[in-house]
Amino acid sequence: MSTLKLNKSPAAADQKRQKPVRPLSPELRDRSKAPVIKAQQSREAPAKESRRQDAGARKEPRAGGRQDEGTQPRAPRQEKSFKDKNTRQSAGKPAYGGDRAFAARSTRNERPRDQDRPFAAKATTRSASRPAQLAADSDLQPRLSKVMADRGLCSRREADDWIVNGWVKVNGDIVETLGTRINPDADIVISTYAKEYQAENVTILLHKPIGYVSGQAEDGYEPAVVLIKPENQWTEDPTQKTFHRGFLHGLAPAGRLDIDSTGLLVLTQDGRIARHLIGEDSSTEKEYLVRVEGELSANGLAKLNHGLSLDGVQLKPAKVSWQNEDQLRFVLREGRKRQIRRMCELVGLKVVGLKRIRIGQIALGKLPPGQWRYLAAHERF
């Protein structure tokens, strides 16, 4: 037989889904105050968990889980140290999160640096080989500062300053160590900073009068540098450069004139000029007009030109001639102490006046005694 299913109307279905609403009993209405009552009771009575611990209640361990030995109470929990954590991981437990990330970082840190930075090995090799290149046969090679001075780049003192400042390259490598020895034919490049610093140095030409010493004060006489002040600057100075007190710093005479001599005296801050004028290998000419008295010995003029010795050392050839009947003209390429006066004494003459009128290509000209001017940028000794 077939079973007939009767379709219920929507109204009947809605009536079935709706349950009758019964009014709350007084007991149920009082339950709305239960949380307040329970909170008050919890403050008055000990916690349920505390009662269980006092009674020694224990849950039964799950199957396969860790069991306590006997019925002894559980020991207080201790904080796990980092060492314990690593021990658990090494025992087979996987590392999660931060542990795995730390392990990866530790592995990277243990690798050699050359693997992380492929250029580190190359840079280290280059820096290690640099001293070997510069200092090979160090006992036979000259110092860098001496080579720079010999080439006329600067003075030895300036070279040391430039090296310390990192302004010098040798064969493409910056050298910052004083005393470094190099091949005499090495390629030397100077930084523009050094050239700008050198360009700020000044050179002063002074017409030194009698009564001033060239260098340090001695025997109550003042040094010639005290004349370098604004009121003594030559009004016809072609440079038209103003005077600054900073120009006096490091200003030193490049050559000497006796206290009883007058004429051109060079004071400079530029080590190249000082070396060019008074260096051991200097060949710069210096011209003097010398007023003399006495009777010139036979062949005396020839001896003044070449053939005299001072302190057991033969003098370099000179150019000596009569300027007029009582004045000689000397051109020397060396400058020993009181050289001209001692030379004249050897041939029977006495010097009563000495004036230096030229150094190299720079002439004293019209510069008045006691006044000074700057060396112009285009002027060369």
114 tagged catalytic: no
Are the CB atoms for 241 and 201 separated by under 8 Å? no
Q: Is the dihedral of CA 310, 316, 321, 323 positive or negative?
A: negative
Are the CB atoms for 159 and 170 separated by under 8 Å? no
Taking each helix axis from N to C end, the angle separating 156-164 and 271-278, rounded to the nearest 10 degrees, works out to: 150
Which tokens is 167 given?
A: 């302004």
Which run of H or of E encompasses 266? strand 262-268
Which tokens is 199 given?
A: 């360009």
Euclidean distance between CA atoms 197 and 190, whole angstroms? 11
Q: Could you give the C-alpha distances from 286 to 23, 124, 261, 314, 357, in angstroms and in order? A: 133, 53, 14, 18, 8
Residue type at 85 in one-letter notation: K
Euclidean distance between CA atoms 224 and 210, whole angstroms? 10
3-state secondary structure 135-169: CCCCCCCCEHHHHHHHCCCCCHHHHHHHHHCCCEE
Which tokens is 187 given?
A: 């390629």
Which tokens is 353 given?
A: 């006046």
Catalytic one among 258, 260, 281, 311?
258
Query: What is the CB-side half-sphere exposure of residue 359 using CA atoms within 13 A?
Result: 28
Query: Which positions are annotated as active-site residues?
Result: 258
